[in-house]
Structure 1
C-alpha cells in the first residue's frame, strides 16, 4: 500500500489573509483547530510595494513583522503539538525572516528547524521579463510554486518561510509533502490549488464579506478556515469548533469566485480547471470539494512589478443642498483658474452624489466633489494643490467646506503584470541544515493559450431563451434578490463572481449577463472597457472580468473603491427584470 493510500487527510488551517489581519487567529487555530499545519498569506501586490519601501529605509526589513508576533505566540504550542508552520511572510527577504524566527525560538529556549524558499526576487536580472522592463522597478517578483515548501517539510522543517509564492502554494506544498504526490499528479494538485484558493483569504470563506447576511446566524467574528485535503486532492472546508461565522456551499462558492479570470486557472505547478469543481454540503460547517481536474502548467511564471509612479493628493469638497452640479462645475473652474491643469500628470474629478431632495438632516443633503491630482513635483501636488482649494473658501460656492484640512502629497505605485520563462528563474530551498537545493520545474504545457469567451446564445441585447420564456412574467427587483456576488482586483482589472441559488437561476444569469449588459449596469466608468464573462455551470456562477477599471492597480487607482471590493454589491443593487418564478417566495 502506498503512502498516499495510508495517510488520512491533512488538516491545514489558515491564520492570515493579508498583512495586517487578526493577530490572535494563529493562537486560536492551534488551540481549537486540531490542525497539522498552519499557513498564512501576507503578500498582496500592494504589500510588495510596502515591503520594498520598508526595506529601503535605514534599518528597515523586507518581511512582514506581524508574522513574528504570531510566531512568538504559537511557537511553543506548535512544538508541543507537532504542528508545522508555513507562511509567505518572507516577502523580499525570506532569509532574513528565517533568521528572525530562529532568534525568537532561541529567546524562548525552543529547538526549531527553520527553512526558507527563495529565487522569486528578480531585481538582480530583469533581462528575461516580458514585456521588457523599461526602468528598474521597486520590486519584481516571480510567483513560485509549492515544491520548495514540500521539500523543506520533507527535510524535517518545523517552520518554512517563503517570498512570493502563489497563495495556493501554502496549501499545495504541505498537501504534496503529506501525501507524497508526484509533480505530474495534475488532478490532485489542482484539487489542492482549489482548496488553497478557498482558505487563502482567511474568514472570507467562513462568512466574511458574504452578501446573504440572513444566513449567518452566528454573528461573532468568523473563525479562520481549515482545509482537510485528501490523498486524491479532494477536500473538505471547515472551521474550528466554537468559532463564529458560517461555512456553507454559498460561502465557499463566494471565495472560489474571488479574484479569478478564465476557468482554466494557470499556476506554477498545475493549471486548475475551475469549471470542473463540484461542491456539496458534508455536515454542519463542512463543504466537500471534489471533481477538480488539472493539466500541466505553462512554461512561464507570472511576475508582479511595482514602480514608484510619482506623487498624488486628494481634496474632497462638500456641496450642500441646491444646485449641486452647478456648484461643482464652478468649483472646478475656479480651482483650475488658480492652478494650471496641464502642470499635473493626471487630474481626476468625481462628483459623488449622496444628496436627496428635502433631506431630513444636513448630512443627507450633501454631495462630495473629490479631486485627485498626480505628478512628479511633490510641492505642487502637495500643499500647492491643497492650499489652492482653500482659496475657494470665501470666494466660491455657497456652503463651501472640505472633509479634511489641506493635505500633503503621498507617493503612489504602479503595478504591472508580466511573465518570465521558467529557465530564467532559480527556485531554491534552503534547508534547516543550511543546504541550498534547486527545485526542479514540473512538466509544462508550453505557452498559455488565449481563451475566448463563448458568445451569448441569442445576442447582446436579449435575455436569450430564458428571457423569452419569462418575458410576460417578470418583476423589476435588485439583481441581488436572486444572485450573490463577490468582487476584487487583479492588478488593473476588476473581477465580479456572480452566483445563483439553483440551476434555473444560473441558466437565467448566464443568458442575461452579457458583456454589454454588464457595461450598462456598471454605468459610465465601464462604458468603453473590455468586459469578459465566463460561465461556471458547476458552481451555478458566471465570472466577470472588467479590464482596466482600476487603471495601474490599487496603489495608483483614483476610484473611491480602488480594489473594487464593493463593485459586486453595487451590481447586486441594480434593478433588473427577473423572471418571477426565480424570486424567493
Structure 2
C-alpha cells in the first residue's frame, strides 16, 4: 500500500496501478472489484473528444438559459453520470486499504463531482480526503488570445482558425499528471479531474510514489506516460479490440481489467485481475494498445515527451508482459486544446435495397432525391449518399442480400430538417416523394426519427502555450489552492513528426510461394482517432515476419490498400522494431471527427480492420503457423 513509501519519497516496491475505465461505456463493476485486490492506485478515463464537446456545449447552453432566466430547473452535473455508481460501492475498501484514486470523470463540472464524492464519503461515515484539479477549461483564455491575433493553426490541417468557418463557444485543454501528484503528496485519497490527458493519472501516481524530478527525470516520467497509455482504455489491453480475439472466446463475456506494476526506472509490467475473468495480457494485446491513438514516434504529454521507437515487450509469464525501452525528452511548450462550435443540424434517411444491380438502383434513388431537393441543395453543407453492404452470389437468405442506402445531410437551416409531415417540404419529404417511383425493391425503414434534424458540433484541435494554463489543485479540507506551473524545461516541437519508409527493404520474392488473401490472416492491427486524423498500426507475431511486414507496408502500399478510402491526404509512417510494428498516421482522414462526421466510422476504429481485410500475397510458410 501507499504507506510503504520511504521518507525520501521513493517506494520500496513497484507501485501497482489499476485501470478502471476507458470511457463512459465501460463496465460499472470495475472500481469495486479492483479495490478488493492488492492495489495502490486506481485510475480511470471517462472522457473523449465526443464527451468533451457535448458536455462543453451543454454548459454554455445552460449558462445562456440561466442568464436569460429561462432555465426551468438546475441541470444535472456535466460529468459522467455513471461515475458515482462505480465509485460508491468501492469506498469502504478504498478507505480501509489506503488505496488512492485519480480519475478524469469531472468533465465540465469537476468541482461539483468532487463535492458529490465528499458527500458520499460522509454518508458512508468514512475518512477520505477529496481533492480536485482545475484549469482545463480555457474558453476565456482562448478568446483573449484570438483577439490578440493568435492564429491557432489546426493540428489536423495546418489551416488557421479564421479559415475554419465556425465560432468557438467552448475550449478545454489537456493537463498533465503533475497536479495529481501534488494532490496525492498533500494527502488526498481521491483526486477528481476534468480534462487531464488519459494517461495523466498514472503519470501523477508515478511522480508521487517515486518523487521523480519534473525537470530532469524524463526517462522515468516517459515510462509512466506509456504505462498510463497502456491501461487508460481498460480492457483494450487485456483482449478488447484485439485482432486475435477468436482464441479468447472463452470468458469473453467478462474481460479482466488491467493492472500495471510501474517500476522506479519507468519500466512496467502489465498484468490483469484474475477472479475468473477472461481475456489475456500478451505481447500481442499490449502491442495493440500501444499502437492505439498514437500520432508518430513521439508521444506528447504535458509533463514529458516519450520516444516510442525503442519500446520492447517481453512475455515473462502468463498474463505478465514487461515493457521497457521508453526514452524521455522534455515536454512540449504547448498543450493540446479542443475548441467546440455549433456546426448546424444533421439528419439521415435509410432506404433498403436488395439483390442484383445494387449500384444502378442506388443511382436511381439518388437522382430522384436530388431532383426533389431542388434549389434547397444550395443550403446543405453535406449531401451524401452511401451504399453500404453487398449481395453475395446466390445469397442464402433475403437479409444477407439486403443493403442500406444511407442519405445524410448537414445544414445550418433547421427548417430543412425539421419534423416533417406529409404536407411539409424538407429532407424527409424529398426522400418520401420518390417511394412509388423508386427502383425495384425500394423499401422504407420503419423508424423515421433519424430524418428529423439534431444539432451537431464541430471540433477543432490546436495548441495552447502551457504558460497560459492556470493549472491548480484544490484541497477543500484545509482550504488551500496549489498552483502547478509548467515544467521549466520545455521544447518547441514541429507539427509534423519524423516519417520514413523502411530502410533496406527486403526482396519479397525470397519468401517463396505465396497465397492471395487478407492481410489480417497474419497481421494484427489497431486504429483510432484524434479529431479528423486516423492512426493505424500493424504488427506481426514472429521475428521472420518482421522484415516482410516492414518491406510490404510502405506509404504507397497503404495508399493502394485504402483504395477509394484514400482522399489524397498526407500519410506519415514510422517503425517500432521491438514489437515488430509499423505505424501510419492518416492526416485529416475521418471527415472532421466524431461529433460531425458523415461516415459510419465515427472513431476511426474500423480503419485498421478495413485494411486488414485487403488482399496481399502472403508467404505460405506464414500461413502454416495459423491465422490470427
TM-score, normalization by structure 1: 0.95
SS of the equivalent of 2:328 reads strand
Residue 224 of structure 2 corresponds to residue 188 of structure 1: no
Question: Which residue is equivalent to 2:543?
Answer: 503
Compared with structure 1, are the counterparts of its residues 398 and 116 closer, same or farther at alpha carbon in structure 2 (3 Å cutoff)?
Answer: same
Question: Which residue is equivalent to 2:45?
Answer: 41
Answer yes or no: is the 8 Å Cα contact 2:501–2:574 preserved in 1.
Answer: no
Answer yes or no: is the 8 Å Cα contact 2:567–2:589 preserved in 1.
Answer: no
Deviation at 1:369, TM superposition (A): 1.3
Compared with structure 1, are the counterparts of its residues 220 and 323 closer, same or farther at alpha carbon in structure 2 (3 Å cutoff)?
Answer: closer
Correspondence for 1:417 among 461, 484, 493: 461
Answer yes or no: is the 8 Å Cα contact 1:526–1:546 preserved in 2.
Answer: no
Question: Which residue is equivalent to 2:307?
Answer: 273
Aligned mates of 2:433, 2:528 — CA distance in 1: 38
Deviation at 1:218, TM superposition (A): 4.1
Question: Which residue is equivalent to 2:233?
Answer: 201
Residue 363 of structure 2 corresponds to residue 358 of structure 1: no
SS of the equivalent of 1:558 reads coil
Question: Which residue is equivalent to 1:227?
Answer: 260
Deviation at 1:258, TM superposition (A): 0.3
Correspondence for 1:342 among 358, 361, 378: 378
Answer yes or no: is the 8 Å Cα contact 1:7–1:231 preserved in 2.
Answer: no
Q: How does 1:240-259 map to 2 (within 5 A)?
A: 240-242=273-275, 243-259=277-293
Q: Cα RMSD (Å) of the superposition?
A: 1.8
SS of the equivalent of 2:285 reads helix
Correspondence for 1:24 among 21, 29, 36: 29
SS of the equivalent of 1:124 reads helix
Deviations 1:229-250 (A, max 9, x none): 1111111111112222111111
**Unaligned 5+ residue runs, structure 2?**
1-5, 63-70, 154-159, 421-425
Aligned mates of 2:141, 2:161 — CA distance in 1: 10
Deviation at 1:222, TM superposition (A): 0.5
Aligned mates of 1:457, 1:36 — CA distance in 2: 44
After superposing the two structures, state which structure 1 stretch, 222-231 or 383-392, moved more.
Answer: 383-392
Answer yes or no: is the 8 Å Cα contact 2:389–2:404 preserved in 1.
Answer: yes
Aligned mates of 1:111, 1:294 — CA distance in 2: 38
Question: Which residue is equivalent to 1:236?
Answer: 269
Residue 501 of structure 2 corresponds to residue 469 of structure 1: no
Correspondence for 2:572 among 518, 532, 552: 532
SS of the equivalent of 2:536 reads strand
Deviation at 1:444, TM superposition (A): 3.1
After superposing the two structures, state which structure 1 stretch, 435-444 or 39-48, moved more.
Answer: 435-444
SS of the equivalent of 2:400 reads helix
Question: Which residue is equivalent to 1:9?
Answer: 14
Aligned mates of 1:5, 1:359 — CA distance in 2: 65
Answer yes or no: is the 8 Å Cα contact 2:10–2:209 preserved in 1.
Answer: no
After superposing the two structures, state which structure 1 stretch, 322-331 or 380-389, moved more.
Answer: 380-389
Deviation at 1:120, TM superposition (A): 1.2
Question: Which residue is equivalent to 2:334?
Answer: 300
Compared with structure 1, are the counterparts of its residues 220 and 491 closer, same or farther at alpha carbon in structure 2 (3 Å cutoff)?
Answer: same
Aligned mates of 2:9, 2:282 — CA distance in 1: 28
Question: Which residue is equivalent to 1:85?
Answer: 101
Aligned mates of 1:504, 1:528 — CA distance in 2: 33
SS of the equivalent of 2:139 reads coil
Question: Which residue is equivalent to 1:179?
Answer: 210
Deviations 1:388-447 (A, max 9, x none): 212222222122113343231111111111001111111111124221111121133421
Question: Which residue is equivalent to 1:326?
Answer: 360
Question: Which residue is equivalent to 1:461?
Answer: none
Question: Which residue is equivalent to 1:401?
Answer: 443
After superposing the two structures, state which structure 1 stretch, 13-22 or 194-203, moved more.
Answer: 13-22
Answer yes or no: is the 8 Å Cα contact 1:40–1:88 preserved in 2.
Answer: yes
Deviation at 1:2, TM superposition (A): 7.6
Residue 485 of structure 2 corresponds to residue 485 of structure 1: no
The number of residues matched between the two structures is 578
Answer yes or no: is the 8 Å Cα contact 2:56–2:340 preserved in 1.
Answer: no
SS of the equivalent of 2:140 reads coil
Residue 104 of structure 2 corresponds to residue 73 of structure 1: no
SS of the equivalent of 1:495 reads strand
Question: Which residue is equivalent to 2:180?
Answer: 149
TM-score, normalization by structure 2: 0.89
Compared with structure 1, are the counterparts of its residues 20 and 473 closer, same or farther at alpha carbon in structure 2 (3 Å cutoff)?
Answer: closer
Deviations 1:7-58 (A, max 9, x none): 2111111111102321111111112x31111111011011111212443344
Deviation at 1:273, TM superposition (A): 0.8
Residue 497 of structure 2 corresponds to residue 451 of structure 1: yes
Aligned mates of 2:536, 2:271 — CA distance in 1: 24
After superposing the two structures, state which structure 1 stretch, 170-179 or 337-346, moved more.
Answer: 337-346
Superposition misfits of 4+ residues, deviation over 4 angstroms: 132-136
